[in-house]
Structure 1
């Protein structure tokens, strides 16, 4: 499984042709599952003239009708499930500030996949079992805190599930427990650095932080440079979305030249909204 460089070397170094074969199998399986187990998708596929057997190549993803946020809101809370409600073991959700919240319903298998993807993501940035991972993303319905929590546990790292707020207490815990990995939003990382300066803590001398995993909001290269300079760490970008699994969709590696999408689980289609 894990080695010095990869969490799952077989998957992460899979040849492209093998990966495409894997993706096609998963795509066909998913379309059939949705058609067989969801009245919503049966109706949507029928309106588009799509049958599961029509998915013969990856290019056939173009035949699949879009699922948009209003579909998720209009079928709130669990109208789009493709499993029985009794098989759901965890719920996450958006804030719902613009209407009904977007619900994410997770089965036991979903949770297994999520923790695996998060372990892979943390490992890609250099996080290891020996690390002390300080998680300052919010816990609860928001996916951020628990996503990193599950990944850190999968790796076997000491985990500090502090969540948000309590800035001075967080600084004390990072110092006392020897945190080496910081997981939070970029804006909170900036605020942590500012607060450390005010309370007389020098993160480069008084803390053991070495890497940070930041996401859940947009941030610029200037913010990255500021965080790295102020905290003395290497910063990594994390991307996810509530409609899938939150964090765990893609991650930066040490090359810092864009995000790596975990293509064994996510097939990306780039759409021109004008055409």
Structure 2
């Protein structure tokens, strides 16, 4: 299914034209507002006007994990803090956490693209979706949450932990979709089995899994044990 036909069904030529325009706009933004990126581009004798098509992305310098750590906390922001309405961060287990600042417009775009993905998976306004990603500094929970709401479906913000209660709500509310890590989906299936229940006791039909790597074998096992279509 398609959420935004105008954007998702444009021709390849229209898409490339749009990508080129947006890439140029983005490069121009960071060149004039982020000293780090301006210095990297100047080292390569690059100016924003050198980036005109999507193919020109190959001219741009890479941003590494070390760059993110070295510019902690907000050295890579391209907008003043007065325009930042939310901050998320990585765990920081290997050094400084990666700080991500969002403007209001960023969040509008975020929930729009999540709605597109969920619609492609088959989620509709008639679905109830349990968001089992962690909320808080991790981006996944709130990202999926607002995407479900933007689509018009019902969101159940279960987050992580208390799996027994989660299973009860899945069953009692007739939840039809779930978003979580694939490893938690398998844990949920095991907990379901320990309670003497099976996929037949639930109405789940769609799963949106991510935030960690998983294999095709895991996908097949999740689909079989939870009776769903599993999407990455």
What range is the shorter-chain TM-score in?
over 0.9
Give the whole-Å Cα distance in 2 for the aligned partners of 1:212 and 1:57: 36
* SS of the residue 1:77 aligns to: coil
Q: Equivalent residue for 1:163?
A: 159
Give the whole-Å Cα distance in 1 for the aligned partners of 2:78 and 2:181: 32
Q: Equivalent residue for 2:210?
A: 215
Q: Indicate conservation of the 8 Å contact 2:21/2:52, yes or no.
A: no
Matched, 1:16 2:12: yes
Alpha-carbon shift at residue 228 of structure 1 (Å): 0.8
TM-score, normalization by structure 1: 0.83
Give the whole-Å Cα distance in 2 for the aligned partners of 1:140 and 1:57: 37
Q: Indicate conservation of the 8 Å contact 2:131/2:158, yes or no.
A: yes
Query: Hey, which bits of structure 1, 4+ residues long, moved more than 6 A?
Result: none
1:7 to 3, 6, 14: 3
Gaps of at least 5 residues in structure 1 are 238-275
Matched, 1:132 2:128: yes
Give the whole-Å Cα distance in 2 for the aligned partners of 1:158 and 1:59: 40
Alpha-carbon shift at residue 187 of structure 1 (Å): 0.8
Q: Equivalent residue for 2:73?
A: 77
Alpha-carbon shift at residue 56 of structure 1 (Å): 3.0
Matched positions, count = 232
Give the whole-Å Cα distance in 1 for the aligned partners of 2:96 and 2:52: 36
2:219 to 221, 224, 241: 224
Q: Equivalent residue for 2:40?
A: 44
Give the whole-Å Cα distance in 2 for the aligned partners of 1:44 and 1:226: 46
RMSD: 0.9
Equivalent positions of 1:1-275 (< 5 A) are 5-204=1-200, 206-237=201-232
Report the structure, 1 or 2, having the larger helix content: 2
1:188-215 CA deviation, whole Å, 9 max, x = no partner? 11111111111112222x1110111111
Report the structure, 1 or 2, having the larger strand content: 1
1:34-71 CA deviation, whole Å, 9 max, x = no partner? 11111111111111110111113322212211111111
Give the whole-Å Cα distance in 2 for the aligned partners of 1:20 and 1:150: 28
1:160-196 CA deviation, whole Å, 9 max, x = no partner? 1010111111000111111000111111111111111
1:6-52 CA deviation, whole Å, 9 max, x = no partner? 10011111100010000110011111111111111111111111011
* SS of the residue 1:121 aligns to: helix
1:130-172 CA deviation, whole Å, 9 max, x = no partner? 0000111111111111111010010111111010111111000
Q: Indicate conservation of the 8 Å contact 2:19/2:53, yes or no.
A: no
Alpha-carbon shift at residue 219 of structure 1 (Å): 1.1
Gaps of at least 5 residues in structure 2 are none
Give the whole-Å Cα distance in 2 for the aligned partners of 1:56 and 1:191: 48
